[in-house]
Amino acid sequence: MKAAVLHGSYDVRIEDVETPRLAAGEVLLRIELALTGGTTMKMVRRGYHARMGDPPLPLGHEGVGVIEVVGEGVEGFAAGDRVVPSNSGSCGACPACDRGLSAQCESMVWLTGMCAEKVVVPARIVETNLHKVPEGVDPRAAALAENVACVLKGRDRSPGRAGEQGLVLGAGAMGLIWTRVLSLTGVDVTTVDPLPDRRDLALQMGASRVLDTGELDDLLDAGELRADLVVEVVGDPGIWETAIRAAAPGGRVHLFGGPARGTSIPLDTQRMHYDELTLVSSFHHTPYHFAEAVRAMAAGLLEPGVLVREEVALSDLPAFFRRSFEGGRPSEGGRRSLRTGRALRTGRVRRARRSWASECRTLVPGVNPLLCGRCFAEGMGDQALPARASLRPRTIACSTR
């Protein structure tokens, strides 16, 4: 079968590889589409991923597929089911998992290789982090669940409050999702990006105001902009410094973007202390947040066409990356979808139950498809959730409190 493999910085090749064999508990997916975005572009530029591995590394950690073969012992899934897998499976038993830090699991199983014709989903992910896609849901929306899950975990680490001033630095796909989630919470969001097309998309996603980077610098120099919550989404050390500078006294700075290895920033210790700033970071997601993201996307959290702006064939992926980097940035908009097969709609997928709808005061069908943190933590979501209590995130914020 054909698969995209990262061999080093800017070195992506389409290779003939053996069709993977199944072990007990695994499923074989025929990939319908995979996404590339900010993380994939960083992997191609840097030639590695800090957690998912070093080259040669199969590319693709976000996507949707149809189950072709079910391994021995798998329950709840059958051939023909359209599913979206998370790209990770934590063990639930190590000290990090026991503390609710599943993203720091000491024996994490990662799923890469969705930029291919087929992929095997490891048993641990099948058990805890594989979800059926409800009928009628755009596969692009389901494939965006991994991105949304990362933001939802960040939201619970740094919850926005209605009426606060929020500042999102970066309007790539993740910055746009942050803009959408914070605006649904009632935060007055300003989103910053140097590119006019991305600023326009931020307004569509709920930003009250957009700025280019020069305008932001001018406002900061004049002391005319300070935010209660600043979210850095780029992963650039210089922008981390800008994020801290932009925080109001008592403000929270969420360092969401992942910088390259070996980078560091200076800190104004006097301002950190006397202005009582809080620095928070988040990495990846949890099984709970991934399940919430699948449900939220099925309920219409955002229109996938806003983020998925281009479609390419698997065979054209190396040329796409060359074109993107030669131009200095990815093509217009957010993410790209990579189709490796035609869509299948086989089997019937049971629609999710909605017993929680009358309980969660933040969820308004058609307006706000997000559960508050407390309702989700209490297991009121509509997806099948992992039974192991150790996978439950410890840091949960509820916007209804």
pLDDT at 337: 53
Q: What is the DSSP string of 258-316?
A: -PPTT------HHHHHHTT-EEEE--S--HHHHHHHHHHHHTTSS-HHHHEEEEEEGGG
pLDDT at 56: 85
Query: Structurally, what CATH architecture does the domain formed by 159-281 represent?
Result: 3-Layer(aba) Sandwich (3.40)
| Minimum mean pLDDT range among 106-120, 147-161, 200-214, 378-392 | 378-392
Q: Where do the domains of the chain lie?
A: 2-148+285-353, 159-281
| CATH of the domain spanning 2-148+285-353 | 3.90.180.10
Rounded CA-CA distance 180/154 in Å is: 13
Q: Which two tokens stand for residue 331?
A: 């093509």
The per-type count for the chain, helices as H runs and strands as E runs, is 14, 18
Q: Which stretch of DSSP H or E encloses residue 3?
A: strand 2-8
Q: Are 70 and 27 in contact (CB under 8 A)?
A: yes
Total-model pTM: 0.81
**Band (50; pLDDT cuts 50, 70, 90):** low
pLDDT at 363: 54
pLDDT at 349: 23
Render pLDDT for 347-361 as a digit per residue (tens, 0 to 9).
222 222 223 333 454
Position with higher pLDDT, 336 vs 201 = 201
Render pLDDT for 380-399 as a digit per residue (tens, 0 to 9).
333 333 333 233 333 333 33
- Using alpha carbons only, give the angle 239, 36, 314 rounded to the nearest 5 degrees: 155
Rounded CA-CA distance 363/314 in Å is: 38
pLDDT at 371: 59
Render pLDDT for 173-228 as a digit per residue (tens, 0 to 9).
999 999 999 999 999 999 999 999 999 999 999 999 999 999 999 999 999 999 99
pLDDT at 350: 23
pLDDT at 21: 85
Q: Are 320 and 294 in contact (CB under 8 A)?
A: no
CA-CA distances (angstroms) from residue 190 to 178, 179, 221? Answer: 11, 8, 17
Render pLDDT for 65-106 as a digit per residue (tens, 0 to 9).
999 999 999 999 999 999 999 999 999 899 999 998 999 999
Render pLDDT for 236-280 as a digit per residue (tens, 0 to 9).
999 999 999 999 999 999 999 988 889 999 999 999 999 999 999
What is the mean predicted confidence (pLDDT) over 17-29?
91
pLDDT at 261: 82
> In this structure, are strands 188-192 and 165-169 parallel, antiparallel, or unpaired?
parallel
Q: Are 36 and 338 in contact (CB under 8 A)?
A: yes
Partner residues linked to 255 by β-bridges: 232, 281
